[in-house]
Structure 1
Amino acid sequence: MRDNCKNILNREWLYIFFNRPEFDRFVITNSWGSSTEFYNWENICDISIDLPPLAIQQKYVNVYNAMVANQRAYERGLEDLKLTCDAYIEDLRRRIPCEAIGPYIERHDVRNGPNGTKNVMGVSTTKEFREPTSKVNRNDLANYKVVKPRQISFVQTTHNEKVFCNALNTTDEDIVVTSVNEVFSTNENKLLPEYLVMFFNRTEFDRYARYHSWGSARETFTWDDLVKVQIPIADMEVQRSIVDIYTVYKKRKAINEKLKAQIKAICPILIKGSIEEGSNTKEA
């Protein structure tokens, strides 16, 4: 921003102005081009804005910055919890002999059938269930695999995702996933699914899965590869203690995402409020 504009337009207020769904729709509507649509620098410069006085801009920027600071402070505490979980796992790896998980897990291949659930999900690179990114015919889910509560599903291919995509069904409802995914449960008298997922969700395991994937056109990490994975099988009391921390981490992670969504949602309110206050100030 030019120095002579700083007394007219607050750059952070302008960022909030841009960070609104209304502005996204404006840009999409006013983009131009054939195979690739553009909205360039000249288009940005031609935008007309009803600017409130600088002091009012700063007032609403302060509100936004306070919310962002609160969210970032919360996020830093969130990462501390994740590091605690990872440190527990690393400590166990040093103190307890590792065992193959094959004897503690059971593979499942239950198909949804013609009258099954329509609760179809994908397994994301963030290692959670999420809405499918591709179009899915929810009336044609008979061949999809069922993931019951407390069961785990994972994606066998690793060449595109670059991580071991897996997710634990923490809900009380069945989920269905594509038939190419694997689905399994753990023997909860010996191995908690949350504890196993914690191990899977480490970057070290992503590297392990990638290294042990095989294939030419499509690299895969299969069920046969999974059963050979070795981890420290701690006693159940220790597993539950670590899982309790992990559960708190997951809950706080969900809260953090809600905070981010709230910050995004408040941008239109802040811009509208600042413009209206600025208009009332001019009229007075």
Structure 2
Amino acid sequence: MTLTRYRLGDLIEQVNTRNKDVNNKYTVSEVRGISNKKEFIETKAKMNGVSLDNYKLVKPSEFVYMTVTSRNGDKLSVAFNNTNETYLVSSSYITFKVKSDNKIIEDYLFMTLNRTEFDRLSRINSWGSARETLSWEDFCDIKIDLPPLDIQKKYVAIYKAMLANQAAYEKGLEDLKLICFAHIEHIRKNSELFPIGNYIEPINEKNSDGAIKLEQGINIEKRFINPQRPNSNLKGRKIVRTGQFAYCTQLNNENVAIALREDEDCVVSSVYDVFKITKEYEILPNYLMLWLIRPEFGRYVYWASEGSAYEFLSYENLSNYLIPVPPIEVQNSIADIYKVYTERKEINEKLKERLKNICPILIKGAVEEAKRKEA
């Protein structure tokens, strides 16, 4: 046998094990969402009081996908559990596994699903008005060309070797982050704490002449990003100069969108507040930012915010956040470690993107090798 065309439904079958079926063995710590990057992600939703009875289990070697494809970056959110852990996902997701007739390897199936070509097929086969969805039936009707198992194993081995290299790099990355945060936690426990308001001041500079053409937003990962809805008229928007900070005053769960501007000057929406350090001889911008990305700051923000329908973090309450202020040379050493971490993190993200981009190349190689055997 060489190359064979199959319906996905001939290769996979749906599973529907609920948490209540295993006596609610799994807890909030096992709950996961799925990103359109084809990864499991920790959920940011508040789970207090939420019943996990009907949450679905995703066991090792099983798959899950979200049926909604509209407003999802033209991508299908699907993930493969290649760990030894069992996860919980929303009951609105569809969980499935490879059939036991040994026609396709799980990793090869995931490589097939992890391609822009498959994203396009998913969008073409989605239906709906307010929201477009890819039903299980339509998902199963998608056809793929499948090479024999020996060829699948060959290309899966290549993919797994690349994954292992990336995972090793990522582990070293997390070790570096741990060193950095352990260092600043040691300083916090052994130093006097000061309100950051002693070292910063608010800025309210407007783009009155419209000279700055770059508009930015900030996400909860503490990064400047392109806004989802760009505006043509940027006059009157707040300016964020290089070296200044900006944050969204409206709280996002236990988090705040805050970032240090290290690139060229930009403008942000009026829902943001802007501030700068006034005593850089006492505290470095990158050192201060280290304290603003910690989970402890998120908890402080949640406590210090005020409001009814929406909660807001005022500049005054932000100013009361306490941090240690060691000598500049100590701040520099910590900031340098974190700079190396962020640089390597960006490299790691590029590696992960390249891994995804390699999937269509490997699948194409497997298909072409099978065709050559037919000739």
* TM-score, normalised via structure 2 length: 0.71
One-letter code of the match for 1:3? S
CA distance in 2, matches of 1:161, 1:176: 25
Aligned pairs for 1:1-284 (under 5 A) are 1-4=98-101, 6=102, 8-133=103-228, 135-137=229-231, 139-158=232-251, 160-171=252-263, 173-186=264-277, 187-283=279-375
Alignment length, in residue pairs?
A: 277
Report if aligned partners of 2:210, 2:236 keep a CA contact under 8 Å in 1.
Answer: no
Alignment check: 8 A CA contact 2:122 2:139 kept: no
Q: Give the 3-state SS of the residue equivalent to 1:78 in structure 2.
A: helix
Aligned-residue sequence identity (percent) comes to 45
Deviations 1:168-217 (A, max 9, x none): 1122x112111221111112111101111100111011001101111111
Deviation at 1:220, TM superposition (A): 1.1
Determine the C-alpha separation between the residues in 1 that align with 2:195 and 2:132.
53
Contact 1:114 1:141 (8 Å CA) reproduced: no
Q: What TM-score, normalized to structure 1?
A: 0.93
Q: CA RMSD in A?
A: 1.4
Q: Is the contact between residue 19 and residue 264 of structure 1 (CA under 8 Å) also seen in structure 2?
A: yes
Do 1:112 and 1:141's aligned partners in 2 also have CA atoms closer than 8 Å? yes
Structure with the higher fraction of residues in helix conformation = 1
User: In the TM superposition, what is the alpha-carbon distance from 1:74 to its structure 2 partner?
Assistant: 1.4
Q: Secondary structure at the match of 1:49?
A: strand
More contact order relative to length (CA 8 Å, sep ≥ 6): 1
Q: What is the Cα deviation at residue 33 of structure 1?
A: 3.1
Q: Distance in 1 between matches of 2:196 and 2:104?
A: 60
CA positional deviation for 1:101: 1.5
Unaligned residue ranges in structure 2 (runs of 5+): 1-97
Q: Cα deviations across residues 102-132 of structure 1 (Å, max 9, x unaligned)? A: 1211221111233322211111010111111
3-state SS of the aligned residue for 1:182? strand
Give how far 1:48 is off: 2.1
SS at match of 1:50: strand
Quote the offset at 1:238 in angstroms: 0.5
How far, CA to CA, are the matches of 2:133 and 2:318 in structure 1?
46
| Separation (CA, whole Å) in 2 of partners of 1:41 and 1:198 | 45
Higher strand share: 2
SS in 2 for 1:246: helix
- 1:164–1:200: 8 Å Cα contact kept in structure 2? no
Unaligned runs of 5+ in 1: none
- Residue 227 of structure 1, CA deviation: 1.4
Cα distance, 1:88–1:19 mapped onto 2, change above 3 Å: same
Deviates more, 1:30-39 or 1:92-101: 30-39
Q: How many angstroms apart in 2 are the aligned matches of 1:3 and 1:257?
A: 35
Partners of 1:180 and 1:46 in 2: CA distance: 47
- SS for the counterpart of 1:43 is helix
Query: In the aligned structure 2, how far is the partner of 1:203 from the partner of 1:145?
Result: 27
- Helix, strand or coil at the partner of 1:22: helix
